[in-house]
Amino acid sequence: MISAGDFRNGVTIELDNNVYQIIEFQHVKPGKGAAFVRTKLKDIKNGGVVERTFRPTEKCPQARIDRKDMQYLYNDGDLYYFMDTESYEQIALSSDLVGDSLKFVKENEMCKICSHNGNAFSIEPPLFVELVITDTEPGFKGDTATGASKPATVETGATVAVPLFVDNGDKIQIDTRTGEYLKRV
């Protein structure tokens, strides 16, 4: 159990038969009346954000989130298959659970599967990936000083904005959290 006075960003709690992660918290002591804790909570199953206030002495059970490294194997229609590299156990997750989290991940790369009580609810791709550009317009000499960008398709099929000097076949590094081009490798 964790009291509302001990809330910190990133802590996960169980509340109303749901699991929430604290995004933001603020201890408020008004001039009149009792102190309270104002929070923004993110529902980890559906991603919705709610605001809620607590008395500092209120207690909530702390949720235990398991993050396990698993290898992304392949996509078969509506299912995405992952394998535990230690026990070779495979699991299949539906496309609505996966969402856009694998748009920069190639087959056979490692991901973190987040679960609560054995039920997977999200996938954390690696922070940075290196992918080859499969399709982009050619850049022209002298255009690199403008800081302009152009769309490029990478080997997973996702589109990224890249500088004009990047060509087909170049290997680039991408930040999977923002989808931004970082550098040419």
Reported as a single tens digit per residue, the pLDDT across 58-100 is 898 988 888 899 999 998 888 889 998 899 888 888 887 787 8
Tell me how far apart the alpha carbons of residues 58 and 64 are, in angstroms, rounded to a whole number: 19
Phi first, then psi, for residue 97 (nearest 5°) are: -75, -40
Q: Does domain 2-60 have CATH number 2.30.30.30?
A: yes
Closest CA to 172 of 164, 181, 160: 181
Q: What is the assigned CATH class of domain 66-124?
A: mainly beta
Give the residue carrying structure tokens 């290997």.
Answer: 171
Tell me how far apart the alpha carbons of residues 112 and 106 are, in angstroms, rounded to a whole number: 14
Structure confidence at residue 142 as a pLDDT band (50, 70, 90): low
Q: Is a pLDDT exceeding 90 seen at residue 51?
A: yes
Q: Which residues of the chain form CATH 2.40.50.140? A: 66-124, 128-184
- In angstroms, the Cα distances linking 53 to 37, 40, 112, 156 are 5, 9, 32, 43
What letter represents residue 96's amino acid? D
Q: What is the pTM of this model?
A: 0.70
CATH fold, domain 128-184, is OB fold (Dihydrolipoamide Acetyltransferase, E2P) (2.40.50)
Please give the pLDDT value at position 5. Answer: 84
Q: Is a pLDDT exceeding 70 seen at residue 144?
A: no
Q: Which residues of the chain form CATH 2.30.30.30? A: 2-60
Please give the pLDDT value at position 153. Answer: 92
Q: Is a pLDDT exceeding 60 seen at residue 105?
A: yes
Please give the pLDDT value at position 31. Answer: 86
Q: Is 138 exposed, middle or buried (0-12, 13-18, 19+ CB in 10 A)?
A: exposed
Please give the pLDDT value at position 165. Answer: 84
Reported as a single tens digit per residue, the pLDDT across 119-129 is 887 788 888 99
